[in-house]
């Protein structure tokens, strides 16, 4: 195997130190193939190049290696942390990879818990609000979570409203209330905006709400009871009755949540299921003693990564060689190592598989807290794990069923069009649509179907300029030329020529099928473009609307002269074509509307106008009800807003017109 590698690479391998570290393999295009760690870099990396691995998965990977990078570290724990940081950053082909999901939501209570005795707070700031929040946390507010879903946050906010009656309104709304809102009427807010609750009492409610979120429910009940008794002793029976009702509401919530006897405050429950080359890790969260729900994760590269991992273990010969690691453990350890890079870990992890002590120690070191992992839990923890395991089974079964049906639809389309792709999983479709309103703000969309599903990250929008307004054919010609001219040029270059910039990856190759939303006219324009570029006309198909433009009656129009085809209302192939066409239409319309909105307000938003900061912008929006209201106002009206001079008002008016 070493004969196929450069002398420079082999010399680099021979010079490696016998120390712990992390190594990265790269292919000829600069893509990362694999990131690994080793207790002994020289021994581990050398094993890859010492024998012929044939046509195995590991052999395919090693055959692609043209470059290597290594980093020496001080300990195995440091190597483990660096390895997974690099995996998450570089997206290597042969590692188990958990894609970054959208960030976790938090429950936010505005303001700090100790603002300082000498600081006089504004009216709104002296009554903290509870809100849903997603993003980076800071020290100016208090955050609770993370939560597995937006629903879990909103449910918690509703509980706080029922029991502690904290406000949820924005500060601008709070500052302009003259009478209590509906939430006060239905006993979901104590009405601080119109001074219906004393600041001291509201502060107590905020403190109790925070204690409840931390799981200190018995302490909250005790504090409420003590306050109730003090009011009763002073014959303040109305205030005492309010606290009694609050205690009753809290007790009811605790009973419904079944948390009154649970000692665990913050726990993550992790269950893994592997089947059919796919895997699911189900993460359930307990925060403040309350089970908040769960979220499934589906890693990629399971089979390739398992093959490399098996080779790594077999290469560690000798007394210290590690035993074979089940793929379930590999998946779970990969999730723990990658997931908690950007998410705070709780002090307790309940796992369906035993994970390595080294990993948990490294995680504790990274998080700065002592973390314990329990594999065989008891009592309530066992029930949590059983529920998480069942959900992992269900989610993976659903994924396999969906992927099976998606593959069947792709196969049905390929068979219907008499195509013979080399790789059905790699079958790629690009679909184009044109959208405008009476010729205004014309945009073209390109959506991509690949690996049996829509690939949102590869969608593109094209602003169409320099054509007669409303000329859809010219718009289609322009977008197809912009999309495929460089790819056609790259295809005519000699094999050893350097590919054009941005031509790497699946987005840099011609698709197996090009769909255009339209009939003979649009297909004719696409045919002219492809003929001019020297591309295969057989890949172009138009989706022509049927009689009455009814869904299910569409016909396919071919650019190479074949007769039109009607696949049938119940055809799986037609369903796939319609889905891709509708997605292109949706993507084009949303882009066109956004562009039109920008054009109609002069191409500028308030924040783009020099001299307009956050406070002035807020005052303008509050006065006029939005950007459209500001645009409709005259210079005198704009100048009447606090902080807006006559000169600035004229500048705002010009910018919005």
CATH classification at residue 378: 3.30.420
**135: confidence class by pLDDT, cuts 50, 70, 90:** confident
**For residue 498, pLDDT beyond 50:** no
- Mean per-residue pLDDT, 366-379: 89
Q: For position 610, which CATH number holds? A: 1.10.150.20
Task: Specify the DSSP element, H or E, that contains 338.
Answer: helix 327-339
| Domain match, 648 and 538 both | no
Reported as a pLDDT band with limits 50, 70 and 90, residue 264 is low
Say if 305 falls within a structural domain: yes
Distance from C-alpha of 111 to C-alpha of 127, rounded to nearest angstrom: 9
Domain assignment of residue 292, yes or no = yes
Tens digits of residue pLDDT in 301-318: 887 787 787 777 666 555
H or E element at residue 301: none
The set of long-range contacts for 403-410, using a CB threshold of 8 Å and a minimum separation of 24, is 403/278, 403/452, 406/452, 406/453, 407/452, 408/572, 409/452, 409/572, 409/573, 409/575, 409/576, 410/452, 410/576
Q: 557: which residues sit within 8 A by CB, 6+ positions away?
A: 519, 520, 523, 541, 542, 543, 544, 564
Mean pLDDT of the chain: 81
Question: Quick one: DSSP state of residue 521?
Answer: H
Residue 591 has pLDDT above 70, yes or no: yes
Average pLDDT over residues 606-627: 78
Residue 497 has pLDDT above 70, yes or no: no
| Domain co-membership, 565 together with 608 | no
Q: CB within 8 A of 156, min separation 6: which ones? A: 107, 144, 147, 213, 290, 292
Cα dihedral across residues 607, 611, 613, 619: positive or negative: negative
Local confidence band at 403 (pLDDT 50, 70, 90 cut-offs): confident
- Lowest-pLDDT choice from 133-142, 217-226, 284-293, 599-608: 599-608
pLDDT digits (tens, 9 = 90+) for 429-450: 999 998 877 666 788 899 999 9
Sequence-ordered strand ranges (E) for 415-475: 429-437, 440-450, 453-454, 460-463
Task: Specify the pLDDT at position 478.
Answer: 93
Same-domain status, 385 and 447: no
Last residue of a domain, one of 353, 382, 397: 397
3-state secondary structure 470-500: CCHHHHHHHHHHHHHHHHHHHHHCCCCCCCC
170-223 pLDDT per residue, tens: 888 888 888 888 998 888 898 999 988 888 889 888 988 888 888 777 777 777
Q: Which residues of 436-448 are buried (b: 16+ CB within 10 A; e: fewer)?
A: beeeebbbbbbbb
CB 166 within 8 A of CB 158: no
* Rounded Cα gap, residues 475 and 45, in angstroms: 54
Q: Is residue 263's pLDDT more than 60? A: no
Beta-bridge mates of residue 21: 38, 72
Backbone angles phi, psi at 53, to 5 degrees: -100, 5
Residues 387 and 459 in one domain: no
The Cα–Cα gap between 445 and 463 comes to 9
CA 255 to chain centre: 34
- Residue 123 confidence (pLDDT): 76
Same domain, 608 and 592: no
Q: What is the mean pLDDT of residues 42-56?
A: 79
Q: Is 80 exceeded by the pLDDT of residue 424?
A: yes
- 479 domain-assigned: yes
Contacts of the segment 357-366: beta carbons below 8 A, 24+ positions apart: 358/76, 358/77, 358/80, 359/80, 359/333, 361/77, 362/77, 362/78, 362/80, 362/81, 362/337, 363/336, 363/337, 365/77, 365/81, 366/81, 366/340, 366/341
What's the rounded mean pLDDT across residues 53-74? 84
In a domain, 358, yes or no: yes
Residue 50 lies in a domain: yes
Query: Are 449 and 434 found together in one domain?
Result: yes
pLDDT, position 484: 92
* CA–CA separation, 503 and 489 (whole Å): 11
- pLDDT tier for residue 496 given thresholds of 50, 70 and 90: very low
272 sits in the region (left: phi over 0; alpha: psi -120 to 50; else beta) called beta
The last residue of a domain, from among 52, 77, 102: 77
| CATH code of 26's domain | 3.40.1440.10
Question: What is the reported pLDDT for 482?
Answer: 92
Query: Coil, strand, or helix at residue 454?
Result: strand
Residues 308 and 372 in one domain: yes
Residue 484 included in any domain: yes
Q: Is residue 438 part of a domain?
A: yes
Quick check: helix, strand or coil at residue 597?
helix
The pLDDT of residue 494 is 47
> What size, in residues, is the chain?
657
Name which of 589, 559, 584 is nearest 448 in CA terms.
584
Same domain, 612 and 526: no
Residue that terminates a domain, selected from 77, 100, 116: 77
Same domain, 380 and 461: no
422 within domain boundaries: no
CA–CA separation, 165 and 193 (whole Å): 13
Closest among 325, 309, 329 to 375, alpha carbons compared: 329
Number of domains the chain is built from: 4
451 and 581 together in one domain: yes
Domain residues for the domain of 20 are: 2-77
Residues 346 and 278 grouped into a single domain: yes
Summarize the confidence of residues 69-80 as an average pLDDT: 86
Residues 572 and 522 in one domain: yes
**Please, which pLDDT band fits residue 388 given cuts at 50, 70 and 90?**
very high
- What's the CA gap between 400 and 277, in Å, rounded? 10
Listed in sequence order, the residues at least 6 apart from 317 whose beta carbon sits closer than 8 Å to its beta carbon are none
């Amino acid at each position: 195997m070493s004969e196929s590698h450069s002398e420079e690479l082999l010399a680099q391998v021979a010079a490696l130190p016998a120390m712990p570290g992390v190594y990265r393999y790269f292919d000829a295009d600069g893509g990362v193939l694999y990131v690994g760690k080793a207790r002994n870099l020289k021994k581990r990396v050398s094993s890859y190049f010492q024998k012929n691995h044939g046509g195995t998965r590991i052999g395919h990977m090693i055959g692609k290696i043209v470059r290597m990078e290594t980093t020496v570290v001080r300990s195995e724990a440091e190597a483990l942390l660096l390895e997974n940081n690099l995996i998450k950053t570089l997206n290597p082909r042969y590692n188990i990879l958990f894609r970054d999901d959208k960030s976790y939501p938090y429950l936010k209570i505005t303001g700090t818990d100790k603002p300082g005795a000498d600081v006089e707070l504004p009216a709104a700031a002296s009554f903290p609000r509870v809100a849903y929040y997603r993003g980076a946390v800071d020290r100016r507010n208090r955050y609770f979570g993370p939560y597995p879903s937006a629903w879990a946050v909103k449910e918690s906010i509703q509980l706080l409203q029922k029991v502690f009656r904290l406000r949820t309104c924005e500060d601008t709304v709070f500052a302009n209330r003259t009478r209590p809102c509906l939430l006060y009427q239905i006993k979901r807010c104590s009405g601080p905006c119109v001074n219906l609750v004393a600041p001291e009492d509201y502060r107590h409610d905020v403190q109790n709400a925070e204690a409840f979120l931390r799981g200190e429910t018995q302490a909250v009940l005790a504090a409420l009871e003590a306050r109730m008794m003090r009011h009763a002793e002073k014959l303040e029976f109305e205030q005492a009755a309010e606290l009694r009702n609050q205690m009753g509401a809290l007790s009811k919530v605790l009973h419904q949540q079944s948390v009154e006897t649970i000692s665990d405050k913050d726990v993550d429950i992790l269950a893994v299921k592997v089947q059919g080359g796919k895997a699911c890790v189900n993460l359930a969260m307990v925060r403040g003693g309350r089970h908040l729900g769960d979220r499934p994760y589906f890693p990629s590269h399971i089979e390739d990564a398992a093959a490399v991992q098996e080779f790594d273990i077999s290469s560690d010969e000798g007394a210290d060689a590690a035993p074979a690691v089940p793929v379930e453990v590999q998946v779970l350890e990969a999730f723990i190592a990658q997931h908690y890079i950007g998410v705070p870990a709780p002090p307790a992890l309940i796992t369906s598989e035993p994970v390595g002590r080294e990993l948990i120690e490294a995680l504790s070191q990274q998080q700065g807290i002592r973390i314990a992992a329990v594999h065989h839990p008891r009592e309530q923890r066992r029930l949590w794990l059983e529920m998480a395991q069942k959900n992992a089974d269900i989610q993976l079964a659903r994924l396999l069923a969906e992927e099976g049906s998606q593959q069947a639809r792709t196969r049905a389309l390929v068979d219907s069009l008499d195509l013979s792709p080399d790789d059905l999983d790699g079958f790629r479709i690009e679909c184009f649509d044109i959208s405008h309103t009476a010729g205004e703000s014309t945009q073209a969309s390109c959506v991509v179907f690949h690996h049996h599903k829509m690939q949102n990250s590869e969608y593109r929008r094209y602003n169409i300029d320099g054509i007669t307004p409303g000329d859809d054919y010219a718009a289609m010609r322009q977008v197809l030329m912009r999309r495929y001219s460089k790819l056609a040029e790259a295809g005519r270059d000699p094999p050893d020529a350097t590919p054009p910039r941005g031509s790497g990856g699946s987005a840099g190759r011609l698709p197996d099928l090009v769909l255009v939303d339209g009939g003979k006219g649009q297909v004719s324009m696409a045919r002219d473009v492809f003929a001019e570029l020297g591309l295969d006309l057989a890949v172009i198909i138009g989706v022509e609307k049927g009689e009455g433009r009814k869904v299910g009656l569409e016909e396919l129009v071919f650019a190479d002269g074949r007769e039109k085809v009607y696949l049938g209302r119940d055809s799986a192939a037609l369903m796939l074509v319609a889905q891709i066409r509708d997605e292109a239409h949706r993507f084009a319309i949303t882009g066109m509307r956004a562009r039109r909105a920008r054009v109609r307000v002069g191409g500028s938003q308030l924040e783009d106008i020099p001299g307009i900061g956050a406070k002035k912008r807020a005052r303008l929006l509050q006065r006029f009800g939005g950007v459209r209201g500001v645009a409709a106002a005259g210079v005198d009206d704009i100048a009447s807003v606090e902080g807006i001079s006559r000169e600035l008002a004229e500048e705002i008016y010009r910018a919005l017109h």
